Every structure is written in structure tokens, then in C-alpha cells.
Amino acid sequence: MSRRKELSEEELKIIKKKLSDEEAFEKFFKNCYLRNLRPATIQYYKNEFHAAKKYNHKELVNFNQGDIENLILESKKHMKVTTINTRLRALRSFFNYLLKNKLIEENPMRNIKLLRDRQKAIETLDNDEIEALIKTIRKLKTFVGFRDEVILLVFIDTGIRLSELVGIEVADIRGNHIIIRKTKNLFERTVYLSDITQEQLDRYLQIRGELDTDKAFISHDNNELNPHSIQTRFTKYGKEAKISKRVSPHTFRHTMAKRMIVAGIDAFSLMALLGHSDMTITKKYVNLWGAEIEDKHKKFGALRGLKL
């Protein structure tokens, strides 16, 4: 038998050193750290990779398109479309990295698209609901109650995220504006306060006093705030105020966006205030509530009242 001919594909696979998940993860996460991704993003990747492996006894690096398709089909039995898409995005980042660095020969995600999902209406709070929340919180007459009132005003006035609010330090508050440092995209930005928010924030800081922590918003025992506890408290306030909508920091963010759009803000300014990395989400807001701007123009148009 002659041994001079080229090795077959199967024989070449035997010779080629196989990449293990452990080796792939080490390289992938090293790249994540070098890119200075947020700890939350890195943990998200770890969680999704671990969950994906549960659907198959194979290592992730050995997944093919069929394995991804089976994962989707199994996931659809007990998971929401948004959750599945979240997992697919993580896998796409992983396999794109491996292919780009020639650690795998084929990308199993190459022909996989995100699942289509129905666009849900974005809930926002109207004037009556915001006022009902304030009244509910003011019934407490406690430090935590006043703190939560100020937090609500800051949320709706600025549209900042919960993680951004928790990261605000006393030195970041400068009169009628706040420097937001703990941002999702790592770019600092400035948000601005209306007179009433500035006044209430000044009062809150007086009551807060001088403490060991630099964080502006603190718990009842003078420690840093737990983001989950803030979410829980506003959910509770919403129920007490008999508001049927979801009451959360993200609802306040949507509410701020809508109120600014209806008032006539341009998309680029809103994008800067909200800290969006690109215009995609901002455009979505404008498209959703643009009709209300049109109604406002009809009512308050600059040419109304002129006899031309």
C-alpha cells in the first residue's frame, strides 16, 4: 500500500489538535478583558455559554449549525423569544471571535438569524400616574421616602439607567447638572436637572450629610444602594398608587424620552442625554411618539393665528 498520496480529510482531522472549550473560553475572555468590557457583560457571556452547553453533551467548540438549530427548538418550548435571542447573540460573539482568529474552520452561527418577535408597546407614565407615585412616596415621611422621591425626580428628569444612578457620587452633582460616569458604553456624559429636581436634590444632600461613602444615594444604614432594592421599592409604590403599568427605572427612562420628544427635542440631543451608542433606539422612540409631535404642531404651529 502506497503512503505517498495526500492525507484524506478524515486523516487530517486526526492530526489536527482539537481546541477544547476551556482553551477557547480562556482566549475569548482574555480578549474581553483586553477590550475592557464591563464585568456584567463578561458574566453574561459566561452564563449564556454555560446554559447553552446544557442542551448538548458536545463541547461548544464542536457545535455545528444543526446543534444551534436544535438548541433553538428546545428553547422555544419554555423560553421567551427575547431570552433565546439574548443567548444567540452571546454565541454569535463567541463563534465570530473563534473564526476570526482561525480557531475554528466553520462558524455554526453563520446561517442562524435571530428569532422574530412581536414589537411590544413601550409603556410610559402620564402626568396623573407620576403625581400619584409622588403622593404615595410622600406618605412615608422618612429619610428613605424622601430619598426615593428625589430618585424618582432624577430618573424622570434625566432618563438615566438604574446602574448609572447608583454610581452617582456627591462630587458628580454640580448645580443644575450631573456627570454620569458609570455608563453602559464607558463614555461619560452630562445630564441636566429642572429647577424642582435641583431644589429637592439639594435638600436631600443636606439631610444625607457627610458620610464615609462618596455615593450620593445611600441606604437607611448609610451604605451603598442595592439596585435590586430600588427596583423592588418602585414596584411596591406602583401597586400602592394603583398603577396598572410596570413601574420601574426603565419605565421612567421611557417616560423621559417620550416627554422630551413630544416637547420637540431633536433626536441627536435625546441620543446624547440618554447615552445611546447609536441612533437605533432613539429612532424607535421618535417613530413611536412622532405622531404626538404632529398633533402638537397642529395645535401650536407657529403660523396659527396669522391672517395670511
CATH architecture, domain 127-300: Orthogonal Bundle (1.10)
Pairwise CA distance, residues 82 & 87, whole Å: 9
Contacts of 180 (CB under 8 A, 6+ apart): 160, 164, 167, 168, 172, 188, 189, 190, 191, 275
Task: List, for residues 43-57, the tens digit of each pLDDT value.
Answer: 999 999 999 988 877
Pairwise CA distance, residues 248 & 134, whole Å: 14
Contact 217, 180 (CB under 8 A): no
pLDDT for 1 beyond 70: no
Greatest Cα pair distance in the chain: 102
Give the three cell numbers for residue 107: 462558524
Pairwise CA distance, residues 25 & 270, whole Å: 38
Task: List, for residues 72-112, the tens digit of each pLDDT value.
Answer: 999 998 899 889 999 999 999 999 999 999 899 899 999 99
Contact 245, 128 (CB under 8 A): no
Task: List, for residues 246-264, the tens digit of each pLDDT value.
Answer: 999 999 999 998 888 888 8
What are the extents of the domains in the chain?
Answer: 17-100, 127-300
Contacts of 103 (CB under 8 A, 6+ apart): 19, 24, 27, 61, 97
DSSP 218: B
